Structure 1
């Protein structure tokens, strides 16, 4: 009996330590280091121009502008975790070809941006990017978020619903809390998380067009989270990518898929 009680006491201590560690170090778990940054080449490319973005006097990402024509609007792109703005150049090219300006938003502590690498800092930077883009450009603004970035994009809309013309959320969670609870079943996730990052709740007052892209074989954020988000929001167009996983969604997007996205967002190419 004494041995049993000692074992239970030890297990309880280990459990409590694990709970405390999850609470204290969750930013490190949610925002792991990105691979070595490969700088985007600044200046003129074949069809667009790339410049660093300094909306408030300090680096906040990149702005990519189609050459030879006035942009007809702006897409803000929020990247996923273990990434940086430099990883999103190929995605930006999709929107630039339609005649749109693209801002690749960077979070503090990621890529070339200085600062503290926390969810709170990333959210503040995401919201600032939207307000800074509104102040700098008059055309329509669309938000694009992938994985973690989908959560950031959704939270950025709160209180700014009328400023956003449309939203594309790729491999999103319905809430970070629900994903974490699914993976950490033995822990009181609701009390551990600093914030639930509830995308369903963040979009509840948004009346604009929303496109949600889910991947059938997503093991990081299982597709049912994206399906639940789409089911609970009245303005969502859901696009399922059969056979695609969390990290290969972009290569699974066909020309028809992109046409469906643009049609749902009511985006027209520049003339």
Structure 2
């Protein structure tokens, strides 16, 4: 056996081993273990109250309600993959201060929620949470998803289009398969994913207000994916944050930005 032949066989073996590892490790890569938290944010805060939210008797996230006021609708927040529901109170505050109750959805195996930490389990929980919120509170229902949560929100809408009054997707993908192909171009990742999580297809029948917020310095989910998602949906509003990346987009949003988002969502 020549040295070249040996090198080729070693390279092919390493390629196959990597393929297998990517297939079986994708849930752990996409949903890393929850970060350490000091404790749940329950109790009274300035202008709002926080309590655990349950679906079918099991903890499923947090319910944030304006103090001393009747909510004028419901926002559901779907967080990103390196976060938990405990991290999203600053985002929930944006909507609760405008008079809405906010449900911060938790995924199985994340934060304080029991269950297996997989993408498909997170998807099932997201859809179940939307159904539970619809049953619990009549009236306008809006969805907000960030990063992985944008993918979960888009998938939850599928089949529930008429019940969603508006949606905002922040640093989103057009499809998970498309993003994975960007990061792993030498592997057939479109065939390896357990689910392509195609947000474009999931929103195909949704004709309500859609806001897409993209961070132009984003290297994790490059801005091209947010643009493709917005371009695929007739009437979508695209907000670009020129100096923000995937992690600091929230700090780049000011009151004027949020007022515009709520207006586009028809929630102002």
Global fold match (TM > 0.5): yes
Q: Distance in 2 between matches of 1:60 and 1:87?
A: 15
Kindly report the root-mean-square deviation, in angstroms, between the aligned alpha carbons of the 2 structures. Answer: 0.9
What does residue range 1-150 of structure 1 map to in structure 2 within 5 Å? 2-150=2-150
For structure 2, the 5+ residue unaligned runs are none
Q: Distance in 1 between matches of 2:120 and 2:38?
A: 26
For structure 1, the 5+ residue unaligned runs are none
TM-score where L is the length of structure 1: 0.97
**1:6 Cα deviation (Å)?**
1.2
Moved more, 1-10 or 174-183: 1-10
Moved more, 29-38 or 213-222: 29-38
TM-score where L is the length of structure 2: 0.98
Task: Report the counterpart of residue 158 of structure 1 in structure 2.
Answer: 158
Q: Distance in 2 between matches of 1:39 and 1:152?
A: 25
**1:139 Cα deviation (Å)?**
1.7
**1:200 Cα deviation (Å)?**
0.6
What SS is found at the alignment partner of 2:263? Answer: helix
Q: Deviations over 1:148-177 (max 9, x none)?
A: 000000000110000100000000000000
Q: Distance in 2 between matches of 1:42 and 1:182?
A: 40
Task: Report the counterpart of residue 175 of structure 1 in structure 2.
Answer: 175
Q: Distance in 2 between matches of 1:12 and 1:107?
A: 37
**1:97 Cα deviation (Å)?**
0.4
Aligned structure 1 segments of 4 or more residues deviating by more than 3 angstroms: none
Moved more, 159-168 or 1-10: 1-10
Contact 2:218/2:244, CA 8 A, preserved across alignment: yes
Task: Report the counterpart of residue 233 of structure 2 in structure 1.
Answer: 233
**1:13 Cα deviation (Å)?**
0.7
